[in-house]
Amino acid sequence: MVIGLRKRIRRLLDRMDGERERVSTAPFSIQADDAPPPPKAPEPLPAAESKTTDPSAISAEGVSEREVVQAPRLVDASENAPEEDDGSIRIKAEVSKAGDECRFLTNRTILEGFSWWYEEAQDAVDSALPASLFEVDGVESVLVDDSTVVVTRAGDRFADWRPMAAQVGQLIREQLASDATLIGQSVLDSLPDPAEVETTVQQVIETEINPGVAAHSGFITLTHIRGNSVTISMGGGCQGCSAADVTLRQGIHKSFRDAMPSIGAIYDETDHAAGLNPYFT
């Protein structure tokens, strides 16, 4: 029965073929009960909505001449939500990008508004907190900055920090909970006037550091002083330079501390990713 119906439809279509152009151009269809519906004509493709991303209009040379701007980083409110203060001592460890130091962020003020760098154990004879940390095997130097303790270690910078961090964290917690003199009086008596720090640092930058890094088309700028903590930024050939960290630690740190031993933390806030012409890539 189905076959017969299809033959009749075929004959009907053949007969109508000749009349289609003469009689009408209107669409028509004949559909058997069990025949599949004819395919619908495809919808016309929508006009291209997608943005093109052809880079040919911009050369690599053209890109390098453009300034790299930084949009403000957006952070979800939940990421900065303060932890509930139940009176307990909280310590969070954060390993540096280079892997040679670990920051221990506490919820207790240790040296309010100032910082102090303990280069070796004998610097910490009357400061219980850093003195205890120097007893941990591998601890090279200790920096205390307000509520943060930064520990530098010797040896393999890629080794797992967790075992040593757990040890250091436990000692910091014990010291914070004790009545010990965390930072010695000799340190407190040596804290400099911030204005004096600014004058000295600026002078060192202008007379010693910038003439040196100028050979690599670089320059250093003093951006901020907080207590005796110094923040600098690097520009020109220093910005994005693969040797910038060496310049910072072996050049800038040394020059600043030679000029004023009571300088505490030294931070580099350079956006090295935005460097257009680094001396070493």
Partner 1 sequence: MPKVQQFECTIKTGKVGTDCDVVMVFNGHPLPFDAPSGGTASGETFTGSFAPMSVAHSISIVGPTSGEWQIDEIAVTYHLDIGEPYSARFGPIGLDITNQVNIWAEPPRPTFDV
HSE, side-chain direction, 13 A CA sphere, residue 50: 4
Structure tokens at 174: 């014990």
Look at the chain and count its residues. 281
155: left (phi over 0), alpha (psi -120 to 50) or beta: left
Q: Specify the residue, 20 or 90, whose C-beta has the smaller distance to partner 1.
A: 90
* Smallest separation (angstroms) from partner 1 to the CB of 251: 23
* Smallest separation (angstroms) from partner 1 to the CB of 160: 10
Burial bucket for residue 148 (CB in 10 Å: 0-12, 13-18, 19+): middle
Q: Specify the residue, 168 or 205, whose C-beta has the smaller distance to partner 1.
A: 168
* Smallest separation (angstroms) from partner 1 to the CB of 48: 10
Q: Specify the residue, 7 or 162, whose C-beta has the smaller distance to partner 1.
A: 162
Q: Specify the residue, 18 or 72, whose C-beta has the smaller distance to partner 1.
A: 72
* Smallest separation (angstroms) from partner 1 to the CB of 275: 8
How many CB atoms neighbour CB 185 within 10 A?
Answer: 10
Q: Which residues bind partner 1 (CB under 8 A)?
A: 49-55, 57-60, 63-64, 66-75, 90-97, 104, 162, 165-166, 168-170, 240, 271, 273-274, 281
* Smallest separation (angstroms) from partner 1 to the CB of 174: 12
HSE, side-chain direction, 13 A CA sphere, residue 166: 3
Q: Can you name the residues that pair with 150 across neighbouring β-strands?
A: 103, 143
Among 201, 216, 229, 209, smallest CA distance to 275 is for 216
Q: Specify the residue, 75 or 215, whose C-beta has the smaller distance to partner 1.
A: 75
